[in-house]
């Protein structure tokens, strides 16, 4: 069975979507698929280049990049505060005026795809960026031969909490409808997003489905850990723009607990001060992020302020030897609680200073945890569920 895997975000760049893509590839590989990856070129000197992802076993077709894209990637990671501030303002303006990010520049390169004579049993396009799906549409119009086309979505186009733009909802809905119309299966990684999208696009109710993101490991891990009574090490690794995630309850709670040491790493519009027990870092490469996580006792996932999306690290770290604390907002709190409890893997609390303090004190008091990877989150099982839905 031949698979064409299309992403317009390079797999060597450290982002949450890269983890999702690598998990999907693990699942298809374990099922014996012959995999071809179509993705942009990447400069190995880019700040977020992740040398830990071994792609040598895959057939990779690379789309040419441009110098501007590399300059932007470098600016995000290694520029002065003034340059970074200017970049963020320009990016915010661009996001308001465009439904898609700069990856749309690659769409013109579809004509250069070199393998139109080959047949692929499955084509899968993944987002973000959402232009990956549009790219496949162009490939099909140019003669791509395939059996089934799967679109794998993170945030939907309509209701994407990470992007604010000037376009009315009816227009965004129309564009989204056009994008998903050609796919045989449209997969969302949140059950709540899938439910809303079935309502938004009722004519496609039979092609829209849900499949969660997957654990980092592809085998079930089960272990007992014992946490220290003092010096409990906490890590929050991820971006925390104040419009989408409220990290302040976690920050303030940890300031008041003398047994907690907190490590934060990620991009934000906030400027948080480090203390003797709280270290605030910018976004870091994947190798550094893994090092921070490996030294932590508890990994915290701060839930989105609103919306139906679920932070990917909740799934990725389910196979780790870390306690995972999920803080939740009021929006869909009951449904989210029931969903997370079904995995028997996570500690849950409200995203408030008092609730987080109490949760961390309870974790410290319990001390011993039996942690097991949920079997349904293994990459191969998730890919099987997607294929079986076709």
Q: Is residue 68 scored above 60 in pLDDT?
A: no
Output Rg (C-alpha) for the chain, integer angstroms: 21
Residues 368-379: what's their mean pLDDT? 95
Contact 25, 35 (CB under 8 A): yes
pLDDT above 90 (res 217): no
| pLDDT, averaged across the chain | 87
Of 35-39, 52-56, 90-94, 372-376, where does mean pLDDT reach its minimum?
90-94
Rounded to the nearest angstrom, the gap between the alpha carbon of residue 150 and the centroid of all alpha carbons in its chain is 18
- Residue 257 — very low, low, confident or very high, per pLDDT cuts 50/70/90? very high
Q: Give the C-alpha separation, 65 to 46, whole Å.
A: 12
Residue 140 has pLDDT above 80, yes or no: yes
Q: Exposure string (b/e) for 187-211, b if CB count within 10 Å is 16 or more?
A: bbbbbbbbebbbebbeeeeebbbbb
- Domains of the chain by residue range: 2-215+379-388, 222-372
> How do residues 181-193 score in pLDDT, each as one tens digit?
999 999 999 999 9
Q: How far apart are CA 112 and CA 329, in angstroms?
A: 46
Q: 78 pLDDT exceeds 90?
A: no
- Which architecture does CATH list for 2-215+379-388? 3-Layer(aba) Sandwich (3.40)
Whether 69 has a pLDDT exceeding 50, the answer reads no
Distinct helix (H) and strand (E) counts, the chain: 12, 15
CA distance 124 to 135: 11
pLDDT of 27 higher than 90: yes
What pLDDT, on a 0 to 100 scale, did the predictor assign at position 234?
97
pLDDT at 264: 97
CATH placement of domain 222-372? 3.40.50.2000
State the sign of the Cα–Cα–Cα–Cα dihedral 9, 12, 14, 19.
positive
**Helices 16-30 and 379-388 meet at what angle, rounded to 10?**
80
Greater confidence (221 vs 82) lies with 221
Please check whether residue 186 is in contact with residue 152, taking contact to mean a CB–CB distance below 8 angstroms.
no
């Amino acid at each position: 069975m031949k698979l064409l895997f299309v992403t317009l975000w390079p797999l060597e760049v450290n982002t949450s979507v890269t983890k999702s893509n690598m998990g999907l590839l693990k699942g298809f590989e374990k099922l014996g698929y012959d995999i071809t990856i179509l993705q942009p070129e990447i400069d190995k000197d880019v700040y977020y280049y992740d040398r830990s992802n071994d792609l040598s076993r895959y057939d990779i077709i690379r789309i040419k990049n441009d110098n501007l894209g590399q300059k932007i990637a470098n600016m995000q990671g290694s520029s002065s505060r003034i340059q970074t501030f200017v970049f963020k303002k320009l990016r915010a303006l661009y996001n308001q005026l465009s439904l898609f990010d700069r990856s749309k520049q690659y769409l013109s390169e579809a004509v250069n795809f070199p393998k139109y004579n080959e047949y692929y049993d499955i084509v899968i396009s993944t987002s973000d960026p959402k232009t990956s799906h549009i790219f496949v549409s162009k490939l099909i119009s140019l003669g791509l031969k395939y059996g089934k086309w799967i679109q794998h979505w993170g945030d939907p186009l309509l209701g994407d909490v990470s992007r604010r733009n000037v376009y009315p909802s009816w227009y965004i809905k129309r564009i989204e409808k056009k994008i998903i119309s050609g796919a045989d299966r449209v997969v969302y990684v949140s059950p709540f997003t899938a439910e809303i999208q079935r309502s938004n696009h009722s004519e496609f109710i039979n092609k829209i489905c849900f499949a969660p993101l997957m654990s980092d490991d592809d085998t079930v891990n089960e272990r007992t850990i014992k946490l220290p009574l003092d010096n409990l090490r906490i890590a929050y690794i991820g971006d925390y723009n104040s419009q989408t995630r409220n990290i302040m309850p976690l920050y303030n709670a940890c300031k008041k607990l003398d047994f907690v040491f907190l490590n934060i790493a990620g991009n934000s519009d906030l400027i948080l001060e480090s203390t003797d027990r709280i270290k605030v870092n910018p976004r870091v490469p994947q190798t550094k992020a893994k090092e921070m996580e490996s030294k932590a006792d508890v990994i915290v996932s701060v839930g989105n302020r609103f919306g139906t999306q679920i932070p990917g690290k909740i799934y990725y770290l389910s196979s780790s030897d870390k306690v995972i604390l999920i803080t939740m907002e009021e929006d869909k709190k009951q449904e989210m609680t029931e969903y997370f409890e079904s995995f028997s893997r996570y500690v849950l609390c409200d995203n408030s200073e008092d609730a987080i303090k109490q949760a961390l004190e309870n974790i410290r008091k319990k001390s011993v945890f039996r942690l097991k990877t949920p079997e349904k989150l293994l990459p191969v099982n998730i890919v099987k569920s997607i294929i079986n839905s076709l």
